[in-house]
Amino acid sequence: MAKNGLLIQYDWCTGCHACEVACKQEHNFPVGMCGIKVNELVSKAPDKVYVDYTVAVTRFCDLCAERVKGKDVPACVKHCQATCIKYGPLAALVKEQEKQPRTSLFAPK
Amino acid sequence: MAKSNDQKVLSTLWSAGCGSHGGCGCEIFVKNGKVTKVEGDCNHPWNQGRLCAKGLAIREYIYHPDRVLYPLKRVGKRGEGKWERITWDEAYDTIEKKLKDIREKHGAESVIFCQGTGRDIGGPITFLMYAYGSPNWVQVGLAGHACYTPRLGAMFATHGNYTVADCSQFLEKRYNSKEWTPPKYIIIWAQNPAAGCHDGFYGHWIIDCMKRGSKLITIDPRSTWFSTRSEVHLQNRPGTDGAIALGMLNVIINEGIYDKKFVEKWCYGFSELKKRVQEYSPEKVEKISGVPANLLRKAARLYAKNKPSAIQWGEPVDAMPAGSVVAQAITQLWSITGNIDVPGGNVIAKNSHGVTTYPFSSAELTDLYGADLVKRLNEKRIGANDYPMIKNFRGWVQPDVLIKQMETGKPYPVKAAWIQTSNILGGQAADPKRHYEAMKKLDFIVAVDLFQNPTTMALADIFLPAATIAEKESFRTWWQPLGVSVKAIKGLGAVKSDWEINLEMAKRLSTTPIKYKNVREVIDERLSAGKTNFEKLKAKGCWEFPPKNDPSRPYYRYERGLLRKDGKPGFDTPTGKVELYATKYKEWGLDPLPYYEEPKESPVATKNLAKEYPLILTTGRRSPVFFHSEHRMIPWLRELDPVPVAEINDEVAESLGIKNGDWVYVENTHGKIKMKAKASPICPPEVVSVPHGWWLPETDGTAPNLFSTWDHNVNNLTSMGNQGKSGFGGTNYRSGLCRVYKVEGGKE
Ligand code: SF4
Ligand code: SF4
């Protein structure tokens, strides 16, 4: 079976942290552990200061294996307030990357 | 992990858990009477399946071990933290006796009814207050009443209604609605919409619009995610937003790029405004605000020449030296550009179906309680007679006048307080020490809340435990759609909803009979104005938009005669037009035209002070994982924002020997607080940005520590008594002077 993954259109990520809490709630992760982690990235360029967020998917992400057995999408995908996380077969996500600016791909273990 | 066989209850979120201004549709999963999970409802047009961090953490909020689940009475001294569990009957009996005694001896007005901004509080608290007979409904310590009310007042005076940025939220098909078009530009004025749903506006709607082509202009002293993505970023000195608005009006008027047809047909007082704004050339505004004149011109032109465009504004506008004046000038921007009640502009926002959570209008109140109460409300309401705008716009007390009255007992003493949804000392009040001293002396204080906090610990005699959103029925009419909250589980312990508590209390205290048997009857009666009821809405998935041609549906209502009581086209103002020259302001003894006022304390106004305190302190930076002073005890959320952080420019920090992560004192003439430094170019060199509402629930709650509120609550650096001429705005929430230095040893 084709492997699935997550496509993060991080240019849209506002740093709202919803994905992290969605993941925590779904998996009952204790403090200190999460499937996804958002970081602020501040760059001081000659023209202006840029504030961006990057999204790292961690070793604890199981792509919401239980959840996606039904019709549900992963918890972070559903709740991302900027709708900037996509779930699907890796090949399709890579194709999508060709069209989208500033994305990153997560492929699980 | 929730299993698919868990029961799924649809509901509408409005705080007590998510901590918010509400509106999101949610799915509450329940198993064996316990909430297993809360998710967004994909079929709800408001959030379309999404939910913020706070909403997703509701489970931890409901089942938190520190939640207060039974009524308590204080058995030690105030602040000692000694409580005894009592029954509701004992609690109600005690309160009834005390408040009746006080009413007899001192009059109902000597009891103040204090709310914050969480939960569905406006309805139940005014319901109880009017039943008791007091006119004093207040957000204690909110200096200059700087939270939305000044903006609402300015909009009311200018066009007789309120508007919000149109992100299609008034249409059930949302972004697919044929009649909607995205704003070409959105001006984000003094707000970080990503951090929440301020004033009933789901912040990420802005991102939805950006994906559909909206471009941004950001007005903010700091660099943000939004400024990064903006075509123009006006990085003004904190406190000078009034000058920015006047400068933009100047450019738009003098360059003739306003909507001439709209102004001619629908605006009143254009020539007066034109004359006034001549005092604010972009060059002069540059001197005041630090924003280059050409950048200001560019922003004004982009906004005026690209119709439709919208403005989304934030609370700092209210806190400006003349909050209601700054708000007026911004209101005029969308007025003269004809961006009012048009798709993708600033659309007029009305309560869905015309339903209100509780009657606030004089006519309805007279019907319910008689003319005598309504008369007394206006005679005795604290601050109403000092400020005509306060008196005539809405039924609130003016908080700066209140603190004085609590201290002096003049013109009459304040004897008791009913505090519901408000952490006065730990977040809401400016100068909390002053409020602590004044409120400690009150004879009797009831607090209705879910957790102990600095206020309940320091002041409450009786603590009544309130329900979370999952444990109660309620309804929501704040803009649209009309919604209901459905009870998903039995309340934990003995908790009750705010409506239940206040209805039961009102029955004991009211001087006229209360006709409602239960809360459902109250809800259904309110909803009947929208020709629906609780069960009907629940069956529909908890929400409904108003029917076609209902006056609460957009657009162009001024043309269709849907705004005025007389059914004529036009706006609901004395002249029937958008009043650029506000006759209401004039009637209230205020300048009918906008002007700029410098902050009381600033590098310009107080040059000598600025030598000692060279940095500008701007407070109230929002965290996306907290709502005001809430949620510091929720592990999933606290983990994401563990300590109070002061943002300071990286180069300035270096020059002060401060490194990222150092503990620092932020100090001004009022005192000092401890924060962790974040050295970052996000802040311009002169600005220090600090979040509000910080206390540490994990530390000692008894006095004097009171959960460390004196160490970390930035309001300890703010003061009362600076209100603007209208009674609104004016305090140093957003623009005061301070200095920052390292805590010795760098440790807490
Ligand atoms: S896919 Fe599931 S497990 Fe992975 S980060 Fe998202 S919510 Fe967490
Ligand atoms: S939910 Fe989406 S927008 Fe929010 S932090 Fe996560 S990835 Fe970013």
Contact residues on chain B for A79, CB-CB shorter than 8 A: 39-40, 49-51, 56
| Domain residue ranges in chain B | 72-138+359-469+489-519, 149-352+566-587, 607-746
B223 contacts in A (CB within 8 Å)?
A: 42, 48-51
Q: What is the pLDDT of residue B590?
A: 96
Closest-CA residue of B relative to A12 is B207
Cα B466 from chain centre: 21
Overall domain count for chain A: 1
Q: What pLDDT is recorded for position B18?
A: 85
Q: Tell me which residue of B19, B12, B10 sits closest to B119, measured CA to CA.
A: B19
Report how far residue B19's alpha carbon sits from residue B197's, in angstroms, rounded to the nearest whole number.
10
pLDDT on residue B158: 97
What pLDDT does B5 receive?
Answer: 77
Nearest CA in chain A to B637: A21
Query: Could you tell me the pLDDT band of residue B418, with boundaries at 50, 70 and 90?
Result: very high
Looking at CA atoms only, how far is residue A98 from chain B in angstroms?
18
Confidence of residue B609 (pLDDT cuts 50, 70, 90): very high
Computed on alpha carbons and rounded to an integer, the radius of gyration of chain A in Å comes to 14
CB nearest A15 (choices: B1, B56, B194): B194
Which chain A residues are Cβ-neighbours of B228 within 8 angstroms? 48-52
Q: Which two tokens stand for residue A82?
A: 């900027």
In this complex, is the C-beta atom of B609 within 8 Å of any C-beta atom belonging to chain A? no
The answer, yes or no, to whether any atom of ligand 1 lies below 6 A from the CB of A7, is: no
Ligand nearest to the CA of A76: 1
pLDDT band at B15 (very low <50, low <70, confident <90, very high): confident
Burial-class residue B622 by CB neighbours within 10 Å (0-12, 13-18, 19+). buried
Report the C-alpha gap between B594 and B572 in whole angstroms.
Answer: 20
Distance B533 CA to ligand 2 centre (A): 37
Task: Find out whether B624 and A15 touch, Cβ atoms under 8 Å.
Answer: yes
- Pick from A11, A14, A86 the residue to mutate for probing ligand 2's pocket: most ligand atoms within 8 Å of its CB: A14
Task: Judge whether residue B695 has pLDDT over 70.
Answer: yes
Tens-place pLDDT, residues B242-274:
999 999 999 999 999 999 999 999 999 999 999
Say which residue the tokens 């914050």 belong to. B116
Architecture (CATH level 2) of domain B149-352+566-587: 3-Layer(aba) Sandwich (3.40)
Residue of chain B whose alpha carbon sits nearest to that of A24: B636
- What pLDDT, on a 0 to 100 scale, did the predictor assign at position B390? 87
B207 touches chain A (CB under 8 A): yes
Specify the residue for token string 């200096």: B143
pLDDT band per the 50, 70, 90 thresholds, residue B361 = low
- Please tell me the distance in Å from B269's CA to the nearest CA on chain A: 40
- Structure-token pair, residue B573: 């103002």
CB-CB under 8 Å, B37 with A79: no
Chain A residues within 8 A of B56 when measuring between CB atoms: 18, 21-22, 24-25, 79
C-alpha span between B244 and B396 (Å, rounded): 29
Say if residue B435's pLDDT is above 90. yes
Q: Do B1 and A20 touch (CB under 8 A)?
A: no
Q: Which two tokens stand for residue B189?
A: 């004025």
pLDDT reading at B33 higher than 90? yes
Q: Output the CA B203–ligand 1 centroid distance in Å.
A: 23
- Tokens of residue B413, six digits: 């003493």
pLDDT at B745: 64
ipTM above 0.85, yes or no: yes
The tens digit of pLDDT for each residue in B304-318 reads 999 999 999 999 999
CA distance B482 to chain A (A): 22
pLDDT of B362 above 80? no
More confident residue, B412 or B149: B412
Please tell me the distance in Å from A24's CA to the nearest CA on chain B: 7
In angstroms, the CA B391 to CA B382 distance is 9
Contact B709, B427 (CB under 8 A): no
pTM recorded for the entire structure: 0.96
**Does residue B152 sit in helix, strand or coil?**
helix
Q: Whose CA is nearest to atom 7 of ligand 2?
A: A13
Confidence of residue A1 (pLDDT cuts 50, 70, 90): low
Decide if pLDDT at B727 tops 60: yes
Beta strands (DSSP E) in B315-412 are 346-349
Which residues neighbour B615 within 8 Å (Cβ) at sequence distance 6 or greater?
B648, B652, B686, B687, B688, B737, B738, B739, B740
B425 DSSP assignment: I
Helix (H) / strand (E) element for B446: namely strand B444-449
Question: Sorting pLDDT into bands at 50, 70 and 90, what band is B376?
Answer: confident
Q: What pLDDT is stored for residue B368 in this prediction?
A: 75
Q: Which ligand is nearest to the CA of B55?
A: 2
Question: Chain A within 8 Å of B633 (Cβ-Cβ)?
Answer: no
Look at residue A26 and tell me whether its pLDDT is greater than 80.
Answer: yes
Q: Do B38 and A25 touch (CB under 8 A)?
A: yes
Identify whether B308 is preceded by a cis peptide bond (ω within 30 of 0): yes
**Which range of residues forms the domain containing residue A11?**
4-106
Question: Could A66 and B1 be called an inter-chain contact, meaning their C-beta atoms sit closer than 8 Å?
Answer: yes
Q: Is A36 in the pocket of ligand 1 (CB under 6 A)?
A: yes
B51 CB within 8 Å of a chain A CB: yes
| Cβ pair A17:B624 closer than 8 A | yes
Ligand 2 in contact with A18 (CB < 6 A)?
Answer: yes
Q: Which structure tokens are listed for B288?
A: 């005041």
pLDDT of B301: 98
Region of B311 please: left (phi>0), alpha (psi -120 to 50) or beta: beta
**CATH number of the domain located at residue range(s) B72-138+359-469+489-519 in this protein:** 3.40.50.740
Q: CB–CB of B136/B175 below 8 Å?
A: no
Residue B92 has a pLDDT of 98
Question: Class of the B607-746 domain?
Answer: mainly beta
SS3 B142: coil
Q: Determine the Cα angle at B57 with ends B690 and A61, to 5°.
A: 105
Query: Best mutation site among B204, B216, B623 for testing chain A: the one with the most A CBs within 10 Å?
Result: B204
Domain with residue A41: its CATH number is 3.30.70.20
Neighbours of B747 (CB within 10 A): 7
CB of A51 less than 8 A from some CB of B: yes
Instruction: Give the residue, by CA position, lying nearest to ligand 1 atom 7.
Output: A23
| A55-70 pLDDT per residue, tens | 999 999 999 999 999 8
Q: Are B25 and B555 in contact (CB under 8 A)?
A: no
Of B17, B76, B94, B50, residue with least CA distance to B462: B94
* Cα B523 from Cα B724, distance rounded (Å): 38
